[in-house]
Amino acid sequence: MTATSCVRGTGSLTITNPTQAGGDGLLGIVGGSVTVSGAIAVRCAPEISSITPASVAADGVHQSVTITGTNFAPGATVSEASSDVTFTDLIVVDATTITVDVSSTVAGAKSITVTNPNGDTTAVPGTIVFQSAPWIEGFSPNSVALDGRSHTISVAGGQFVDGSAITVAGTSVGGAVIDSTTFDDASQLTLSVTGTVLGTIDLTVTNPDGGTYTWNGALTIVDGRV
């Protein structure tokens, strides 16, 4: 949506009568007008053009976002209809920028509105996506033999969903190929891993909505002859 500008204040109201000719014994009407200054109050509804970043983790941790638009007034508030989101440290920087810390533990797209002190609010809410926040508690076993075979690893954690996938992070010292990730339930995944380079590997779990978690040194690739 493209935000538009508005100038607050008061406007004049002019009432004009038309001139009408008389006829058949009726008097004509001489047109005229009257102007009343300050008769109309001009109110400017806030508009949201973007929210940055557009997605944050639904992990209950407050994260700063910037709301950009127009007609933000000092004392404006930010809200979300479902009450899933909490807001703190709101600052109306100027008429086009608001910064605020947001947090939620409920994943999904949330509609954010700005309301000015006079009650004017956004006609079209802005959207921010709270991504699910998976986490990993441990691996069993936590080592894989470098023997050219695929090994089965149980991954314990939380907020896993159907479609959660584990990948090897580029920061790993060792190397491995993830043959498959199987969703068992919200607290467990089953991983098939083939080691390729001795050392530790960092693993990242990513949910379909983009929520991620990385465990550094998750697995150790050991000599298959040990």
User: Domain ranges in the chain?
Assistant: 47-131, 135-223
End-to-end CA distance of the chain: 62
Return the pLDDT at 37: 62
Angstrom distance (rounded) from CA 125 to CA 113? 5
Q: Could you tell me if 186 and 156 are in contact, meaning their C-beta atoms sit under 8 angstroms apart?
A: no
By the 10 Å C-beta count (0-12 exposed, 13-18 middle, 19+ buried), 102 is classed as buried
Angstrom distance (rounded) from CA 214 to CA 73? 41
Q: Which two tokens stand for residue 116?
A: 């000015």
For 94, phi and psi rounded to 5 degrees? -165, -170
Contacts of 170 (CB under 8 A, 6+ apart): none
CATH class in words for 47-131: mainly beta
pTM to 2 decimals? 0.69
Residue type, 80: E
Return the pLDDT at 41: 52
Centre a 10 Å sphere on the Cβ of residue 216 and count the other Cβ atoms it contains. Answer: 12
Angstrom distance (rounded) from CA 21 to CA 42? 37
Return the pLDDT at 3: 39
Measured CA to CA in angstroms, residue 215 lies from 44, 113, 205 at distances of 49, 36, 9
Give which of 129, 131, 102, 127 is closest to 50, Cα–Cα: 127
Residue type, 132: S
* Residue pLDDT tens, the chain, 226 long: 333 445 555 556 566 767 766 666 666 566 667 666 655 555 689 999 999 999 999 999 999 999 999 999 999 999 998 889 999 999 999 999 999 999 999 999 999 999 999 999 999 999 999 999 999 999 999 999 999 999 999 999 999 999 999 999 989 999 999 999 999 999 999 999 999 999 999 999 999 999 999 999 999 999 976 4
Return the pLDDT at 16: 72
Q: Name the fold adopted by 135-223.
A: Immunoglobulin-like (2.60.40)
For 46, phi and psi rounded to 5 degrees? -70, 150
Same fold, 47-131 and 135-223: yes
* Farthest CA pair distance, the chain: 121
Q: Which two tokens stand for residue 5?
A: 């500008």
Angstrom distance (rounded) from CA 87 to CA 102? 5
